[in-house]
Amino acid sequence: MRLGVQLPEVERVVRRDELAAMARAAEECGFDSLWVGDHLLYRGDGRGERGPWDCWTTLAWLAGTTERVELGPLVACTAFHPPGILARQAAAVDELSGGRLVAALGAGWNQEEFRAFGLPFDHHVSRFEEAFTIVRRLLAGERVTFDGRYHSLQDAVLLPPPARTPRLMIGANAPRMLSITLPHVDAWNTWFTHYGNTADGFAQHNAGISAAAERAGRDPAEIERSACVLVEVERAGERPRDVEAVPADRLREHLRALGEAGADEAILVLDPITESSIRSLVSDTLGV
C-alpha cells in the first residue's frame, strides 16, 4: 500500500520553513506522496477564521522543495479557476515536479468560501461536469472547443505541450458525481468522515464504488482506491474529532485491514501534523 501525508490545512498557520521541514521529513522517511488542501477559507463553525496557503502556488513550490514524492491537491476545486486555467496550472506543476503530479479534482462543498469570494454555487454539479470535461481533455493533449452553459472555449490548447498526462483522481461520493467521473479517472479518493475511518466502513463504501464503476462502463479493477485516514499521534490534537481517530500505535494493523478492504493508498491526516509527528510515526509505528 502506498502512503501519503496531508500537509497542514486548518490546524494552525504554518509558515514556509515549517512547511518545508515537514515535506522533507516525509520524503526522507519514505512516504510516497504529499497532499495540499484547496480551500479559500473556513469560518462559521465556532473555530474562528482560518485557511491554507494557495494550493497551486504551494504545489509548485513543493515541486522544487522535494525530489521523489508524488504531489497533489486534496482535492482541487474546479470552481475556483476557469477550467482552462486550472488545466494549465496542473500541467505546469507536473512539468516542474518532473512528472509527479496527481491531478485530483472535486466540485467543492464549503458554501461559505464561495460566498466570501463571489463564486457561484448554483447548478453546482452541472458546472463541475463542464469544467471536468474541459480539464481532462486539455490535460490529455487535446485541442478543445467547448460551448456549454457555464463555460466556453475556442480552440484551446496547453502550451508548451505537456510531456505526459497526469494521473487523474476524483474526490467525490455522490452518485451523479461518480457517474460523471468514473468513466475517465485513474483513481478515486474519499475523506475519512465518509467511511467512518474504519476498515469495515471502507470495505462497504468501496463496494459501492465498484458497483458505480460497473454502471459507468468501467472495469472496477482499473480504478485505484485511495482513503484518507485520521491518525491520533498525540491526544492533545488540533483537529475536531468528527470520527474516532486511529491511534498511532495501532496504525500498522489498521493499514493492513484497510488494504484487505480494497485500499491501494492511504493518505494520513496526522493529528497533530508536525515534523516530529511525521518522523516519530514512521520510526515508532510503521518501521520504515
Residue with cell 469570494: 117
Q: How far is CA 94 from the centre of its chain?
A: 15
Compare 271 and 237 and report the one with higher pLDDT. 271
Query: For residue range 71-130, what is the model confidence (pLDDT) as tens digits?
Result: 999 999 999 999 999 999 999 999 999 999 999 999 999 999 999 999 999 999 999 999
User: Residue type at 21?
Assistant: A
| Residues forming a β-bridge with 229 | 268
**Cβ–Cβ under 8 Å, residues 135 and 105:** yes
Residue with cell 492533545: 236
What percent of the chain has pLDDT above 70? 98
Q: 10: alpha, beta or left, given left = phi > 0 and alpha = psi -120 to 50?
A: alpha
What does the alpha-carbon distance between residue 255 and residue 203 come to, in Å, rounded to a whole number? Answer: 13
Residue with cell 509527528: 277
